[in-house]
Amino acid sequence: MKKRWLILTIVLIVIAIVLAIVFVNLFRPKNTQALAKNVTSVTNSGYLSEENSSNKQIDQYLELLSSQNIEKEEVEAFFKAYQAFEVAGKFFDRQMIFSTYSKTYQNNLKNVQKNFQHAQDAAQKLENYLLDNLEKIDDSFVGRPQWLVLSWQDCKADMKALLVYSGNAFEALTNIFVNSVASKIVNNTFCQVVLQHFRQTAKFSNEETLDGAALLSFANAYLSVEGEKQILQHEFSQDLQNKAKDLQEKQQESEFFKAFVEGTLIV
């Protein structure tokens, strides 16, 4: 009899503990800071920050290649795409702390973190290569022009990897943004059109090219602090709402789709 009571009490205690754990987890507010911390870290101190050592090394190297007319078109495309990602990174940095928890958030979080990490690794690899060859980058090095041509063959793959992984990260970030930022002042139809176009343009085409200049011009027009004002005007401007609707429905025929892509669409 004693034993039966003891067993019954232990079972009840275990059930109470299990129920308590279940209820605590059910009602605990979901953490949406993980993504915001990741994006802030990448844009404030990671490879998308101008203060970051990898960023500085890569910038100097690409500027040097461009000034020496080495694969100028390709190098400038990559350089401008990198700068466009810096602008886009800051845009998402401004938004993600204000996102709410959603399934899309949970499903895409690891994707963002993983791709940013791969891009960071590619940037680090480039930095290490450039630091190992500092004396060859110096203009006193006799064989510098030839070395620069050969170095681009070494660096191009890592530079491309950096851009591809960044593009993947921004694709996942856009998915999260559209589904998790509650404010329609920011997450409005026009903003979604902007992000959709940025996402599409940030990918390498089948010809293995990326129109960096167009991407940077577009990013500056709509995703920079100044450009973002157009997004913020959307709810208050019938004109912009009509234009956003038109861009969504008839983008191939719309007379201002070209202006939109060029970043000259003014509210």
Partner 1 sequence: MKTKRFFLALFLCFCSVFTVFGLVGCKDVTLGTLKESYEFLSNQISQNSQVFAQDGTLLVESYGKKVDANIIANKSEYVELRDLYNSTLTIAFEYAQENKDFILLLDEAALNKASKAALKTLNASVNDFANSIPRFVEAHQTFVAHFQNFSDDAQGDASVLLRFKKTYGEMVKKCVDFSSNTAKMVESTEIFELLKKTQPSAADTITISQYIRAKLLPIFSEFKITEIANKMNWQLLLNNGDAQMKQTLQALVGNLDTHFANYKQTFLHGNIKTQPLSSEEINDVFNLTENFLVEMESFFQALYGLDLNTFASVYKNNMKEYLKTNQFAEVYLQKLQQFVNVSLDNFIKTVSSKLYV
Does position 6 interact with partner 1 (CB under 8 A)? The reply is: yes
* Stretch in the footprint of partner 1 (CB under 8 A) among 153-161, 177-185, 245-253, 256-264: 177-185
**What is the DSSP code string of 60-105?**
HHHHHHHHTTSSHHHHHHHHHHHHHHHHHHHHHHHHGGGB---HHH
Is 182 one of the binding residues for partner 1 (CB under 8 A)? yes
Instruction: State the binding string over 194-233 for partner 1 (x if CB under 8 A, else -).
Output: -------------------------------x--xx--xx
CB of 231 to partner 1, least distance (A): 10
Report the distance separating Cα 241 and Cα 234, nearest Å. Answer: 6
Tokens of residue 165, six digits = 């992984």
Q: Which is nearer to partner 1, 6 or 18 (CB)?
A: 6
- Closest separation between CB of residue 179 and partner 1, Å? 15
Q: Packing angle between helix 33-44 and helix 103-132, nearest 10 degrees? A: 20
Min dist. Cβ of residue 130 to partner 1 (A): 27
The residue from 34, 70, 109, 185 that contacts partner 1 (CB under 8 A) is 185
Could you give the CA distance from residue 145 to residue 122 in angstroms, rounded to a whole number? 24
What are the two backbone dihedrals, phi and then psi, of residue 169, each rounded to the nearest 5 degrees?
-60, -45
Q: Quick one: DSSP state of residue 202?
A: T
Which of 98, 141, 147, 256 is the binder for partner 1 (CB under 8 A)?
98
C-alpha closest to that of 190 among 240, 261, 142, 153: 240
Shortest spacing between CB 63 and partner 1, in angstroms: 26
- Given a contact cutoff of 8 angstroms between Cβ atoms, the answer to whether 228 and 222 are in contact is yes
Q: Which is nearer to partner 1, 9 or 146 (CB)?
A: 9
Contacting residues toward partner 1, per CB under 8 A: 1-2, 5-6, 9, 12, 16, 36-37, 40-41, 44, 93-94, 97-98, 182-186, 225, 228-229, 232-233, 235-236
